[in-house]
A and B are shown apart, each in its own frame.
Chain A
Amino acid sequence: MNWQIHLPALALAVPLLGAFVSPVAGLGGRLTRNAWMVLVSMATTAICILLWQRVIAGGTVVYVMGAEAWNITLPSGLSWPIRIILEVDAFSAFMVVVGSIAALAGAFFSLRFMDKFTGLEKFSALFFLLVTGMLGMQLTGDLFNFFVFLEIASVASFGLIAFWRDRPEAVEASFKYMVVSTISAMFVLIAVGFFYGRYNAVNIAAVARMLHMGYAEKIALVFIVVSLAMKCGAVPMHMWTPDAYAEAPAGVTCLLVAVSQASLYGLFRVCFSLYGASLGSTVVPWTIIVMGVLSMFIGVTMAVIQKEMKRLMAYHSVSQIGYILMALGVGLLSLKDPQAMADYGFTAMKGGIFHIINYTMYKGLLFLTAGAVFYSAGTRNLNELGGLARVMPLTTFMFAIAAAAIAGLPPFNGFVSKLLIYQSTFAVYPLLAVAALVTSVLTLASFVKVFQTAFLGPAKKTFEKVTEVPASMLLGMSVLTIVIVALTLFPGWTLSHLVEPAAKALVDQAGYISAVMGGGL
């Protein structure tokens, strides 16, 4: 128990150490660099799972950086917390587990995928910086610290998206992402400045206790909601998503999917735990719901006409984020009304949170299989691909599982979370469920198109020498496949042990505040 109290700080320190030692490990050649990358990824995943177990067993965990002991949040009788405090409740622990599994798969995949490039110790360093930024966004209890980790993750991802700097499209994609991302980060900083100016505190729990709505808080809420929704890829700020996700190397795209979930975490942490009961009118929940519906529909209709594999999947990413935004918006809408929360709000939140883990797993797997096709066949253009199922059977099998999961076909896990979302949003407004169903059908349509053109069909002469991808890439893809199959076969366990504590922790604003303000555990 005595070293486990440091788990939140370890979850940040281990990938950071991995990032800074990577260039040194690269001096020993390819083997030491790969060994270091595998070691740090597995250590991070283990730490995150242990942290999750500790939170489920013992309640919300706090960790005060730099105090005499780990839990002195209010030192010597002060009534405000004064240091950077990491606060891990069940929702944070859930997101951290999801993110670290995606990072593990991406790291395994990138061991062989980036073979033809030099400078790979820098790739490894940037990769672990991105993992640190993602985990930091999800573990912190401090608004300015959230901004700092947001920027760490963003700058690392700019570098990783532009990693193929000989391709003009990659540099262009990174530049466009960078412009929009930096501007939205400045909006977040201005919002944090507003909070600091009004309440003289940047700790989320401290501000939440003192919050009362005025013009400054409303403007800060708008800035944070729209900026973080942009970082997730919500319409109409989604246009960087297809560019960036398509041009990044495939292992990086798998991790970028998890990083966008971290921004989603920040959005809901601010809405539920910072504002919570004092959210005011229902404008903000309905804004989130409308953004969700638009994202679903525009994402999938743009995806149907795409000709490039990863760009199509990135548009699907936009539409799946729409599902999560709509579901959690419905939960936010019913936050003030306990009867509505018991009727449909809590189910919507469970559906949305289950959809987060489903989406990260199957979308990560889809991007990895697209990367595998690119590695073997040399092209991502669907007009040129064809007949790859004969030579790449394992990749085809995993792609089929992921495509069935994203389309919401029973018995896969995608169907369960979508079922919860359909049934709960129908109670709010029937058109929401109708939009979700239409989106699901169009998702199935576009993935049938991808599966048929890329994998099925007659064998083409240009792809005669294509073979299956190397074993480490298959290992990365199979990590995600195993998690998808486990989520498919045990949805009841997942819902009651993973998702429900997370949903309860999100709704419980008083518990979040008292974990810090109550003087620590």
Chain B
Amino acid sequence: MWGKVYSGFGYWDVYFWLLFFVIAAGMILFIRALGRSDYKEGTEQDEIFYGSNEVPEDGADMGVPAASAYWGFVEALRPYYDWLVELHTGIASDYVGYFVLTVAAVAVLVLL
């Protein structure tokens, strides 16, 4: 009763989704439990696979920095992103300029 929401074209029931997640979690944990527990700790069997390179000591050398995430997406939209980042100049008068331009544009549209 409390979990069902009727939107315009259907309905949403949160308890069915929670039941789905519980079942999915059960299946995932079952598959995880199928692993072997007879490995030797501290030897090479315990190390992560780092592309058959040496595993660095400090985690900082292993991670990908955040600035290079979604490189492909940004490169594909490079013209759009160049224009967009150029617009965000950071100059205070430009902020006021955009505001005044918006007031002018909307006023022209409303008054005509």
Contacts and interface: CB of A to CB of B under 8 A. Distances in A.
**Direct A–B contact in the complex, CB atoms closer than 8 angstroms:** yes
Interface of A: 175-176, 179-180, 183-184, 187, 215, 218-219, 221-223, 225-226, 230, 236-237, 239-240, 243, 281, 283-284, 287, 298, 301-302, 304-305, 307, 343-344, 347, 351, 382-383, 385-387, 410-411, 415-416, 419-420, 423-424, 427, 445, 449-450, 452-453, 457-462, 488-493, 495
A445 B59 CA distance: 24
Contacts of B23: none
B63 A386 contact: yes
Interface size class of B (residues with CB under 8 A): 35 or more
Given A445-B70, A491-B14, A283 B5 contact: no
Contacts of B17: 410-411
Nearest to A239: B95
A263 B45 CA distance: 59
B42 interface: no
B73 interface: yes
A396 to B, nearest CB: 16
A343 B8 contact: yes
Given A180-B99, A218-B110, A461-B59, A298 B84 contact: yes
A382 B64 CA distance: 11
Residues of A contacting B: mostly: helix
Given A304-B70, A385-B66, 18 more contacts: A179-B92, A180-B99, A184-B99, A222-B110, A226-B103, A230-B99, A236-B98, A240-B95, A351-B7, A382-B66, A383-B66, A387-B59, A416-B12, A416-B14, A423-B9, A424-B7, A424-B8, A492-B1
Contact of A457 (B1, B9, B63, B109): B63
B58 interface: yes
Contacts of A410: 17
B59 to A, nearest CB: 3
B88 interface: yes
B84 A222 contact: no
B19 to A, nearest CB: 10
B5 A495 contact: yes
A492 B74 contact: no
Nearest to B48: A458
A281 B110 CA distance: 8
B1 A219 contact: no
A69 to B, nearest CB: 40
A409 B107 CA distance: 39
